[in-house]
Structure formats: C-alpha cells, structure tokens
C-alpha cells in the first residue's frame, strides 16, 4: 500500500528566519497527519527548516541539486551537502528550472542517479505545456520525459523515487487540472513504469499531482486511484497547507 506524500515546494520564498517561524508554527498542526509531509525549500532554508522540524512528522527537501560529486561548479550544491544538512528529498526537473535555467531530461536523469546514490528521495517532475495538451501530445511528451529521467535506473532504485505530474498550464495559475485529466496522466505514468520495470515496481512507486493544489480540490485529487498525494506550491506557504495535508 502506497503512503500518500504531500510535499510543499516553496520555490524562491521565505528567508531562513521566516522558515524557522513558519515550521515551528505549522508542525504541531500536522502532528496527526496520516501521510508523509515534506517542505522542499530554498538551499539556505534547509538547515533552519531541519532544526525547526526536529521531532515532527515533517521531512525537509531541497528544490534542486547538481549531478557532480564535488568540484569547480560555482553556485551549485551537491547531493552529499544536502544529506549532511539534513535533507531527505530533492525536487528534480521542475518546469520552472527547465524553462528558466535550461534543465533537460538528460540532466534530470543524471541528478536522479546521484540523488539516489546518496540516499535522497528524488521527486522527479514532468508535465506538458498548454500547447502540447492542445496538440494532443500530452501522454507522448510525459512518456518521453519519464523514459529519459529513468534511463539506466534499476528497479530497486526506481521504487525509491517519487514522480510529480505537473501540467505547466496549471502551475501558479489557479487553473487546476480536472481530476479526470490528472488521473489519466498519473495512470499512464504508472502503466509506463509497469512497461519499463514491472507491475510490482509501478504499484509501489508514488505519483503526485501538482498545479494549483489547494484546500478546496485536494481531497478529490488525492482520492484518485493513481494519485498518491501532491506537490504544492503557493498553498504550502501558508498555514492553510494543513487543509491540503488533511483535506476535509
């Protein structure tokens, strides 16, 4: 049985002191959550977030990392640094990183391999643009992204990963995918994992939906058979996130 994961993606929001205050405030409200809860935060917020989350159900993650072990890569952060800082998760290949920072499926693949090697749980993002959806190529596009992201990753490592399906047109727009659209793609991703690995691997892997997840739509989305939780941007910055984790 897959345990649901609801992960916040703070993007470029909150300073270290804001992070500390927010996590301290929200942690007791999440104490009885019946799923895994995470906040993926800016690099400088990881250490204060980990400290503030100590003893709570909250796991902390990063929003990116580099695929090399160490060395002359000014401005980059290595997997072992994240681990040493106390991070458990790392978001990889978010559409904003692909759009603004030139990330590619091949880079995501290298990062995923390195993250797994260091014991981090990669949250591997995929998603189509509005044009691609209108052109009817959504599933082909997602399959391509996932195939490349998992290239060379054996089944025993693939099960340790999380996939986040985030239609780009639904991110930060308030335009959530219908539950039918979200389930269709998450179901297709699970089918692809069956094809690439096995039914057993596909059944144990968690697939999240992301894109304007909010207290009002979380319950219905998370009730879909192939949606195992959410990657939540805007709504994870406020105490209302509790209502996404524990939808009424």
Using CB under 6 A, list all residues that contact ligand PGA: 9, 166, 171-172, 210-213, 231-235
Which residues are known catalytic residues? 94, 166
* Distance, CA of 236 to CA of 241 (rounded, Å): 5
Radius of gyration in angstroms for the set of CA atoms belonging to the chain, rounded to a whole number: 17
CB 35 within 8 A of CB 5: yes
Q: How far is the CB of 209 from ligand PGA (least distance, A)?
A: 10
Q: What residue is closest to ligand PGA based on CB? A: 233
Nearest to ligand PGA of 113, 218 (CB atom): 218
Nearest to ligand PGA of 197, 241 (CB atom): 241
Residues of the chain by 3-state class (helix, strand, coil), percent to 5: 45, 15, 35
Q: How far is the CB of 118 from ligand PGA (least distance, A)?
A: 23
Nearest to ligand PGA of 154, 172 (CB atom): 172
CB atoms within 10 A of CB 180: 8
* Distance, CA of 227 to CA of 178 (rounded, Å): 13
CB 53 within 8 A of CB 88: no
Q: How far is the CB of 211 from ligand PGA (least distance, A)?
A: 5
Nearest to ligand PGA of 78, 103 (CB atom): 103
CB atoms within 10 A of CB 238: 13
3-state secondary structure of 41: strand
Nearest to ligand PGA of 79, 235 (CB atom): 235
Burial category of 100 from C-beta neighbours within 10 Å (exposed 0-12, middle 13-18, buried 19 and up): exposed
CA-nearest of 175, 185, 169 to 130 is 169
């Amino acid at each position: 049985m897959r345990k649901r994961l609801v992960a916040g993606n703070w993007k470029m929001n909150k300073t270290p002191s804001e992070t500390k205050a927010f996590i301290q405030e929200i942690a007791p409200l999440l104490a009885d959550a019946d799923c895994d809860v995470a906040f993926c935060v800016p690099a400088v917020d990881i250490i204060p977030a980990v400290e503030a989350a100590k003893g709570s159900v909250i796991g902390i993650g990063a929003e990116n990392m580099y695929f090399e072990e160490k060395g002359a890569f000014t401005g980059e952060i290595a997997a072992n640094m994240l681990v040493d800082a106390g991070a458990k998760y790392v978001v990889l290949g978010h559409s904003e990183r692909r759009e603004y920072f030139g990330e590619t499926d091949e880079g995501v693949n290298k990062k995923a391999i390195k993250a797994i090697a260091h014991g981090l749980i990669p949250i591997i993002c995929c998603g189509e643009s509005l044009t691609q959806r209108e052109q009817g190529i959504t599933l082909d596009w997602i399959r391509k992204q996932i195939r490349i992201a998992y290239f060379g990753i054996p089944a025993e490592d693939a099960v340790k990963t999380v996939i986040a399906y985030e239609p780009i047109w639904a991110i930060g727009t308030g335009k959530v995918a219908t539950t039918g659209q979200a389930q269709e793609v998450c179901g297709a991703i699970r089918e692809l994992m069956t094809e690439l690995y096995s039914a057993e691997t596909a059944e144990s892997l968690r697939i999240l939906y992301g894109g304007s997840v909010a207290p009002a739509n979380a319950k219905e989305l998370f009730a879909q058979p192939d949606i195992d939780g959410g990657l939540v941007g805007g709504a994870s910055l406020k105490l209302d996130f509790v209502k996404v984790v524990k939808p009424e």
